[in-house]
Every structure is written in C-alpha cells, then in structure tokens.
Chain A
Amino acid sequence: MFRDISYSIFVIIFLGMVMHIVADLVKGKFDSKSKGQLHKFWWIGWSNGLSCFSKLKRIVLIVAVTCLIVMFITAFSGRLAANQLMTGYILMIHVGTAPVFIVCTVFLIVSWGYQCRLTENEWGELLNRIMLKPASHENSMLFLKLTFWFSMGLSVPVSLSMLASMFTIFGTHGQEVLFNIHQYTSLALVSSVVIHLYLLLRNQYK
C-alpha cells in the first residue's frame, strides 16, 4: 500500500515538474539571464556579497537537504525496490542523520521564516486561488513559500512520531500507528521538499 502510494506520488511529481519545465521552455522563460551571469553556486542562491549569516543559512540548507536525501535513500530505497523495512547499518545511518536534520530545520525556520512570510499580494493570490478565482502568477513566490511552511510543518509530526515510539507510552498498536504516521508524513515531507527545491532552483535560474 505505502509502496504503491509512494511510487504514484513520485511519478506524479516527476511528471509535473517535467511538464512545467517544458511549458516554461515553450514560453521562453529561461532566456532572461545568461549563464555567464550566474554564480557557480547559483543553485543554492549563492552570490557575491553575501553576509556571513547569509552564507551560513545556505550552508545549513545544503546540510539539511543532504540529510534528507540520506534519510530518503535509506528509508525508501529498500521499501520501493523490495518492500523491505530498514534494518542494520542502514537503520543506524537513518537514525543517526535524523537529529542533524531536525537541528538544521530549526535553524532554517528561524532564519528563513521571515523571508518566507506571505506578502499582501500573495495573500490575495492565495485567497483568490482558494475561492477558485483567477489569480496573477507572474513571478509569484506563493507556492515556493507554501511548500516551505508545509515542509516545516511536516517535520514536526515526522520527528515526534518516532520520538514518541522511544518512550514507554505506546503499545504495539500505538507503535504501528506511530510508524504509519512517520512513513506517510515522511512521504509528504519529501514530496513537499522536492517541489520546494524545484521551485527554488527554477526561481534562482530565471
């Protein structure tokens, strides 16, 4: 069940991104900046003249994303390939990476939170979209910011579901529920982060 849902979501996300890129290419949206103007670390928003804290923010982002990739590979590779749960050293790597990720996440939400708040226009766009009214989306950062908050929000149940299982609070059934919460919220977190990173890179490149 979880394996099938995971496959479906990843395929949908991948196809969605491909279609989005193709649509942008057809509209010629990637012509605005020449490649020569980009910093070699443009993909993490690096540019000349960044302050130390700005550099730190980007480094932490890299660390967090790396941790997430490690946790994704350790958790999903066996599950998607052979429907096997993690055991042994794979499990240890997964568990060992988790605290680093969560600490980075705290730093990210504190340091990027203000920048990711919704502007007046974005609120309007959001409300219009909720009410299914036409909304301008030229240079909109709405989805980028929403995926940021969505990812941050999901990191809490992802962490707490495993943390709670380490206490003698939940029995076998509770443990199974916690495990299900962990794996489904993790799937949502990964999906959200992938979309966020895609939008971030797209935004950086444009």
Chain B
Amino acid sequence: MIQIIRTFMSLMLLICVNAQLRAAEKGKGLGDGHDGNRSSISHVITLYDEKDVEIKPNVSQPRPISMRNTCGKCHDYDAMASGWHFHSGSTNALSGRVGEPWVLTDTRIRTQIPISNRGWKGAYKPSDVDMSAWKFLKQFSSHFPGGNYGEMVPSDDDEDADPEEFLRWPISGTYEINCLACHHADRKQNQSDAALQAARENFRWAATVASGLATVKGAASELDDFYDPETEYEIVTNYDKSRFDANNKVFLDIVRKPPSNRCYYCHSTQDLQTPGKDEWVHNEDVHLASGMSCSDCHRNGVDHMMTRGDIEPNHKNPHSSNDYLKAFDIKKVASYSCSGCHLGNESGVDAANKMGGHLGAPIPEHKGIPPIHFEKLSCTACHSGKLPENKTSRVRTARIHKLGLHGRHTMNKQLPHVVTPVFAKAENGKITPHNMIWPSFWGLKTNGVVKPLPPSLVREIASDALGVETDNPERINDWIELSEEQIGNVLKLIGEDYSNETDKDKVSLEAIYVGGGNLFSLSDDGKLISVPHEAAEPYKWPIAHDVRPASQSLGSNGNCADCHSQDSPFIFGEVEVDTPINPGEEETVPMTQFGGLDPLYYQSFAFTFLFRPWMKVVVIIASVLIGLVLLLFALKGLDRIVKMAGKNK
C-alpha cells in the first residue's frame, strides 16, 4: 500500500512540475507578435531581479532589474538574443554585408585594429588579439546593447579563461540585453549612464540606471576580487519610489518601434568639417526630416534580425554569406530596401510590395540618367553620405569615437581617423560610398598570415621604445609620430620576445608593423623594409546615411558633370592615407583605386562630355535636314499617288 502511495505521490509531483514548466513556456513569448490592435500597449509591469524575485523599492538592498526575467516574462528573450545586435560573439555569427567594426585603439602604441567576429575582410576577431568576453566589455561596452559578450561568462571548466575574470564576473554581473536601450521611449532613458556603469564594471546595474528608475552608488571595479555580492552591499541600488504604484508596479513607456533617438546613441556620425559650434548647420537624413524613423525601414520581427537595406530586389545574393540570406525572408526584406520602397519589388509577396511606395516613398524619375547607372552604382552612391570633395573628409562615429558620453566621462577621441566618402566597389560589384580607416598595429606574420598582437602585450614589450610613459607627447595630426627607427627597434624587441617560440615550434614568425597601407618588417640584415600588403589595406564599410534630398544628389537635374568631368571628386577625388609615420605629410591615393576604375578611360570619357553639346546640335540639325528631305520626297510621292488615284474615274 505504502509503495502504491509513494508511486502515486511521485507521479503527482512529476505532473505538477511538468504543468508548471508548461505554464512557464506558455507565458514565454506571450507578448510577442501582434493581435491586430494598433494602439500601443501600456507596460505597467512588475520588475524582477536576476534571481527572479519581484523588485520592491522599499526593501533594504533591492537588486537591479534583470531584463531576462522582467521582459522575458512575456517576450521570448532567447529568440531576441539571436538578433542582429546580439549574436556577433557567437561561434556562428552571420557575416553579410561588411559593417562598421569595433576599433581597438591605443594611441600610445600607434595601434588601431578593426575588430569583428563576423569574419569581415580586414577585421580581426576578438580572439585574434586575446580578447575575452570580459575584455571586450571593458573595451567596448560604452555603446553596447547588452547580451552577446555581456552574457558569455566563462564556464567552470574553461581552462583558457583568465582566473581573475572568474572572480570579476560575479561581482559585476552579466550585461543582459538592455531592451530599454531601444524600446524605452521615456526621455529619461540615458545610455550615457549605462556607459558610466559599464566603465565602473557595474554591468548588472547598467540597464537599471540608464532607465532612470534607480541610482547606484559604488563601483565594481573598485572592489577586491574576493568581494561577495551575495552578502556584501558595497554597491547600493536606490529606486525612485515615486515610479512604483501601490502594487510595486512600474509604468515603462515601451514602444514597439524604437524612436530614432535611441538608435542614434550608437549609430551617430559626426561630420568633422563642421563640428562643435557649427554643429547646428547639419541636416538630418531626409527620411527622418520627413518624419520617418530608423525602424520604418530597418524593421524586424521577434527574432530581431533587423533588415539592413542591403538585400535588394533582383539581387538574390549580394554577399558571400549564404547563411546571411537564409536568416531573412528575402522577398519581404527586399521590399524595404531603397529600391524596394522607391521602385517596388517585382518579386514581392503582394501587390503593394510589387508597386513600392511604402510610407509614401516617391517613385524617382531619374530624368536624363541612362539605366546603366543603376547597374554600376548603388542608390547610395548618388544619394548618401557627404557630397564628395576633392579630398575625402573625416567623420567620427558614436561607437568608434565613443560619442554621447556626457558629464565627467566625456571623451574627445580623434583617432582613428575615419575618412569619407570613399567610392569603392561593394561586394555586389556596385560602386558605393564607404567610410574607411587605415589599420595600424604591431603583429606577427606566421607562415604568411598576419595577426595583430594585443596592445597590452606590445606595451609590455616596447614601452620605452614607444615612449608609452612620456607625459603629454607632441601630437601631429592627432598622432604621436612614429619614426622608422622606432619601428625597427620595436620589431627587434618583438622578434626577440618571440624568438624562443620560433625555435621551439619551428614556425616562421616575423614581427611586423602595419601602417599607412604598408607592412613593415626587418630584413635578414636587420634593415627596415616596407611593402604593400593585403593586411595593411584600409578597412572600409558601406554607408547609406545620411540620405540627402534628391536635389542634392549627384547627377540631379541631369548634371552629368557631377561625375563625368575631368576633376570630378566622385571619380578623381583623393583619399587620405592615415598613418603615424610622418603624420604631417598629406599622403593620398586616388579614388579610382578603390572603385576599380581606369583613370585614363574616365579622363577620356569626361573629355567627350566637352563635345556633347556640339554633338547634340549637330545631330538635331542633321535629323531636321534628313526629316525635311524625307518630307519633300514623301510629299512628291503623295502627289503621284493622288494623281494616279485621280486618273481612275
């Protein structure tokens, strides 16, 4: 009997657990999707901490909000974590169109390395520079949406992990996806505060503080390795009690479509021709100026795979990455590209998509522009970015130059110099405006493959040779000048440091420096040599914003000379070469080099445009004369027909 009762009880217990798990699963994703009602949903919600305990502001030592547990109650957190903003650190990160990288900079050792885990050409993976998830956060979390590297806590059996990091992660906590960073429309949402918390290694608190719901005192970075976050309370969270109702619920102004203001925090670009006090002269992207938001075009579903505007109608595979295309519903996504909206998507899923005109997008007439242009140029070539000038100019971007940090942690980074617009061929073969940086780094060439050395290691090896400790070194063009003698000395030091490894593994290790498009190394007799090298090529990524109004587009009003003149910056512009070696010299390379264009041909072609007006006149006169003679004889023929017809009574 007892046996039966025991079995029955166990069975009941199992059923209860199963029911609870199912209920939890049922709740997951409850808020995803759309029931068809267009009114926004009021989010008066209970907040939960990382232990899934309801947050009450009046208790002592309340913990910060966990997005996973709070938003995850109704939304599928894991589905969102697979989105474009959150999966780059994973082993199967999608590649797709080359994008803006993270840039690891250390001006003292004259280093700027494009970093991305997406396998983009010219960018190095974090692991290439011994950058763990922790180090990545330390370096780049000022402009970071959370998730991704923020949740890559090393497992206990990870033998490669830094022991110190094992100790620091529990103190700082994970940096969960900060849903509010994008979806919180409240003007109190302040990502600069999130950046400040991240700088203090308060990753667990970043989202809470940025939301304006609480303030935090204390910095994880100042706590010793053996601080116990479960029992010690050096970091204190103070919630704004006025934001909580009687049921300890909080109203969060959550919107489905993130306002552009949220996107701008990480995706701003500053034109350095008119910075500072002249900032007011800048225009916005023409789409935003007309009342649209970023997310009107860059849409996504629950999976948060934002459309990037790069998959266009009739271009089935614009990238080398097939997986990237598989991640999108191409027919739908293509309808929200430039041409999808403005020209229609012939392969669209419905009549509206085929017709185009989303959100009132006007159908461009492109009067006087031969269709060949649309095969050779991207839409952005004529419509986006800065209007080209004889020499490329510079911009700063929010992520690379850490723009948008207010107050005490404001930065004024000038390096790396991002040059723009560079008209280069994109992966789809079309000429497209790009932003570009010239990589500079110390590294090793192993059996012909170049990899950068972690800047921290170079600092250790060659601190004196590079003058790392020098106070207020002189800067030319924002760089601390690097002489060829210094390069030689540092390469020797690096070579010596790795000589044991070379002997041991019998591999060909060569210390190198990359800068200004050249790869520097030491010859067998110890002399510095430099050669152009693939690894030293500039890293460039296509840009699409700001989109200029049609009247400011290249070739507007049929002005062919915008591009087809002998001094057109679009074709014959000069691209700045940025390097710490002789930084005062204004070195440039021709734009045609990046567009894969034959300068002689384009000079000749531009030359023919001088005669085009004459040709028009000649052809018009000739056509009129031919027409008149034809008319003359046609009338004579008609006369004969009339006469012949008249003879027949």
Which residues of A are in contact with B by a Cβ distance under 8 Å? Answer: 85, 87-89, 92, 95-96, 98-99, 102-103, 105-106, 109-110, 113, 117-118, 123, 127, 149, 152-153, 155-156, 159-160, 163, 165-172, 174-176, 179
Least CB distance, B181 to chain A, in whole angstroms: 41
Please list 10 pairs of residues, one from A and one from B, whose beta carbons are closer than 8 Å in the complex, sorted by A's number: A85-B372, A102-B622, A113-B629, A123-B640, A149-B633, A152-B629, A172-B365, A172-B366, A172-B374, A179-B370
Which residue of B has the minimal Cβ distance to A114?
B633
- B616 touching A170 by the CB < 8 A rule? no
CB distance from B603 to the nearest CB of A (A): 11
Rank and list the top 8 A-B pairs by shortest CB-CB distance, nearest first: A168-B558, A171-B365, A168-B368, A168-B367, A102-B622, A172-B366, A109-B629, A106-B622
B633 touches A117 (CB 8 A): yes
Contact residues of B between 616 and 646, Cβ < 8 Å to A: 616, 618-620, 622-623, 625-627, 629-630, 632-633, 636-637, 640, 644
List of A residues within 8 angstroms of B615 by Cβ: 98-99
**CB nearest neighbor in A for B625:** A106
The contact string, 1 if C-beta is below 8 Å from chain A, for chain B 369-383, is 111101000000000
CA distance A105 to B622 in the complex (A): 8
Provide the bound-state CA to CA distance between A179 and B598, in Å.
26
Q: How far is the CA of A109 from the CA of B624 in the complex (A)?
A: 12
Complex: how many Å from CA A168 to CA B365? 10
B616 engages A169 (CB within 8 Å): no
The answer to whether residues A167 and B627 also contact, given A85-B372, A175-B369 and a CB cut-off of 8 A, is no
CB-defined contacts of B636 to chain A, threshold 8 Å: 117
Would you call A175 and B371 a contact (CB within 8 A)? yes
Query: A105 vs B618: C-alpha distance in the bound complex, in angstroms?
Result: 12
* Neighbouring A residues of B366 by C-beta, 8 Å: 171-172, 175
Question: A110 and B612: CB pair below 8 A?
Answer: no
Q: Is the CB of B629 within 8 A of A103?
A: no
Residues of A within 8 A of B7 (CB): none
B370 touches A163 (CB 8 A): no
The smallest beta-carbon distance between B293 and chain A, in angstroms, is: 28
Chain B residues, Cβ within 8 Å of A179: 370-371
Q: A159-B622, A159-B623, A166-B612 are in contact. List 5 more A-B contacts (CB 8 A).
A: A85-B372, A168-B558, A169-B367, A176-B371, A179-B371
A200 to chain B, nearest CB (A): 19
B605 near A: Cβ within 8 Å? yes
Contacts of A102 in B (CB 8 A): 618-619, 622-623, 626
Tell me if B283 counts as interface (CB < 8 A to partner A).
Answer: no
Are the C-beta atoms of B604 and A113 separated by less than 8 Å? no
Residues of A within 8 A of B367 (CB): 168-171, 174
**Complexed CA–CA distance, A102 and B630 (Å):** 14
- Inter-chain contact total with CB atoms closer than 8 Å: 100
Q: How far is the CA of A168 from the CA of B557 in the complex (A)?
A: 7
Chain B, residues 593-615, CB within 8 Å of chain A (1/0): the string is 00000100100110010001001
A107 to chain B, nearest CB (A): 10
Q: Please name the residue on chain B nearest to A153 by beta carbon.
A: B630
Q: Which residues of B contact A152 (CB under 8 A)?
A: 626, 629-630
**Bound-state Cα–Cα, A113 to B635, Å:** 13
Per-residue contact bits, chain B 486-526, to A (CB 8 Å; 1 contact, 0 not) = 00000000000000000000000000000000000000000
Assess whether A118 is in contact with B365, with CB atoms less than 8 Å apart: no
Residues B633 and A167 in contact, CB atoms below 8 Å apart: no
In chain B, what residue has the closest Cβ to A86?
Answer: B372
Contact B626 A106 (CB under 8 A): yes
The reply to whether B618 and A156 contact each other, CB–CB distance below 8 Å, is no
A156 close to B371 (CB less than 8 A):
no
Residue of A nearest to B555 (CB): A168
List B contacts of A176 (CB < 8 A): 371
When distances are taken between beta carbons in the complex, the residues of chain B under 8 Å from A127 are: 644
A169 touches B623 (CB 8 A): no
Whole-angstrom distance from the CB of A74 to the nearest CB of chain B? 14
Tell whether A159 pairs with B374 under 8 Å between CB atoms, given A123-B644, A127-B644, A175-B369.
Answer: no
Docked CA distance A166–B364 (Å)? 18
Which of A85, A92, A110 makes the CB contact (< 8 A) with B625?
A: A110
Q: Nearest CB to that of B367 among chain A residues?
A: A168
Which of A95, A103, A118, A171 interacts with B637 by CB under 8 Å? A118
Which chain B residue has the least Cβ–Cβ distance from A108?
B626
Q: Which residues of B contact A174 (CB under 8 A)?
A: 367
Q: Find B368's partner among A95, A96, A167 (CB 8 Å cutoff).
A: A167
* A171 proximity list for chain B (CB < 8 A): 364-367
The one of B557, B633, B640 in contact with A113, judged by C-beta atoms closer than 8 angstroms, is B633
Point out the residues of chain B lying under 8 angstroms from A98, CB to CB: 615, 619
CA distance A5 to B366 in the complex (A): 29
| Cα-based distance from A117 to B365 in the complex (angstroms) | 44
- In the complex, how many angstroms separate the beta carbon of A38 from the nearest chain B beta carbon? 31
Q: Which residue of B lies closest to A124 (CB)?
A: B644
Inter-chain contacts of B630 with A (CB < 8 A):
109, 149, 152-153, 156
B604, B632, B640: which has the most chain A beta carbons within 10 Å? B640
Name the residue on A nearest B600 (C-beta): A89
Q: How far is the CB of A119 from chain B (nearest CB, A)?
A: 10
Report if A89-B601 is in contact (Cβ < 8 Å); known contacts: A102-B623, A103-B618, A156-B627: yes
Which of chain B's residues have a CB closer than 8 A to the CB of A155?
626
Q: A88: which B residues are within 8 A, CB to CB?
A: 598, 601
Give the distance to chain A from B559, nearest Cβ to Cβ, in Å.
9
**What's the nearest-Cβ distance from chain B to residue A89, in Å?**
6
> Which residues from A are CB-within-8-Å of B612?
166
Kindly list chain A residues whose C-beta atoms are within 8 Å of the C-beta of B633: 113, 117, 149
Partner of A172, one of B369, B623, B629: B369
Bound form: Cα–Cα A174–B368 in Å: 9
CB distance from A115 to the nearest CB of B (A): 11
With both beta carbons as reference points, the residue of chain B lying nearest to A85 in the complex is identified as: B372
Most buried by B among A96, A152, A166: A166
CB distance from A116 to the nearest CB of B (A): 8
Contact A99 B369 (CB under 8 A): no
Q: Which residues of A contact B623 (CB under 8 A)?
A: 102, 156, 159-160, 163
| Least CB distance, A108 to chain B, in whole angstroms | 9
Among B374, B622, B625, the one with the most A-chain Cβ atoms within 10 Å of its Cβ is B622
